[in-house]
Amino acid sequence: MATEEVDPRFADLDAWSLAAAMEAMWEGQLAAVAAVGSALPAITAATNAAKEALGDRGRLIYVGAGTSGRVAVQDGAELTPTFAWPQERLHFIIAGGESAFVASVEGAEDDVADAVKQIDAARPSPNDVVIAVAASGTTPFTVSALQQAGTYGAVTIGVANNPATDLLTSAQYPVLVETGRELIAGSTRMKAGTAQKVVLNLISTGIMLGLGCVYRGMMVNMQPTNAKLKRRAETMVAQISGCSETPAARALEQSGGDIKIAALLVLGYDKGEAESILARDKGNLRRVFTELAGRGE
């Protein structure tokens, strides 16, 4: 596997000047991001399938081991504060369990039985989306978890950095990002890890776009849980409804911090009407405003 091979170009990396090594590592990061480009069709297909399956009740289930598992956790953990994705619709299946989030758990990535056990405990459904990440594409825990999830009818997405590997052949939606040899052989926290984070960013953000969590470039599902976010929410409501920040702040207070409802309150709807309008269009503000415009409201 390319990710495990020593790159002759960097065989003496430890003897280089720090400046030269830094430049080489930086170039490696740029190459990792560039490698994602050729995978965009596969990423788009996976994202579309995920959006269709999730609807208003499916779960996002991230699977991984080691570095790949921690990259997956990082992506998933950001969905609640950014898009108010419900915690009950987010699940992590990581080799070694929660302790592996911050520390290496030796041998965990080979524990096939634990992978199957964790998937069985989660009991994924056809509305759930399982995103499994492994740089090698062969990690036993990750491959087995993905395969087991498939038996439940869940949508399965596999992200790997080596071609024709078990993770990719087992996934309904394989995403290959060929980042090649690492500057430090096997250190997939570098190029492979960077590419994985980019891919997961694209998939999760694409899903949220499709589910109406974004409107005119704003994270309108965000929960204003601190002073900075409250100011941001007020600005969003003001921009959406065309008012100043004082009525926007008042509407946010009346809506309990719901940006979408607050925007409709400013526009003259009462809270019940706003909730009904949003429910009809599944919380998608663009659909709401298109519909209201069509009705001359």
pLDDT of 104 > 90? The answer is no
Average pLDDT, integer, range 92-109: 83
- Domain 2-210: CATH superfamily is Glucose-6-phosphate isomerase like protein; domain 1 (3.40.50.10490)
- What single letter denotes the amino acid at residue 72? A
CB atoms under 10 Å from CB of 107, counted, come to 10
C-alpha 19/C-alpha 7 separation (Å) is 19
Q: Where are the domains of the chain?
A: 2-210, 227-294
Query: Residue 3 corresponds to which amino acid?
Result: T
Average pLDDT, stretch 194-207?
97
Within the chain, strands assigned E span: 60-64, 90-94, 129-134, 155-160, 173-176
Mean pLDDT value across residues 91-105: 84
- The pTM assigned to this predicted structure is 0.92
* The pLDDT of residue 103: 72
CATH number of the structural domain 227-294? 1.10.8.1080
Instruction: Work out the average pLDDT over 150-179.
Output: 97
- The number of CA neighbours under 13 Å toward the Cβ of 82 is 15
Question: Using an 8 Å Cβ cutoff, are 157 and 173 in contact?
Answer: yes
pLDDT digits (tens, 9 = 90+) for 202-239: 999 999 999 999 999 999 999 999 999 999 999 999 99
Q: Where are the alpha helices (H) located in 62-221, listed in sequence order?
A: 66-77, 79-83, 112-122, 140-151, 166-170, 191-210
Give the span between the Cα atoms of 156 and 144, in whole angstroms: 12
- CA distance linking residue 5 with residue 1, whole number of Å: 7
Catalytic residue annotation: 78, 109
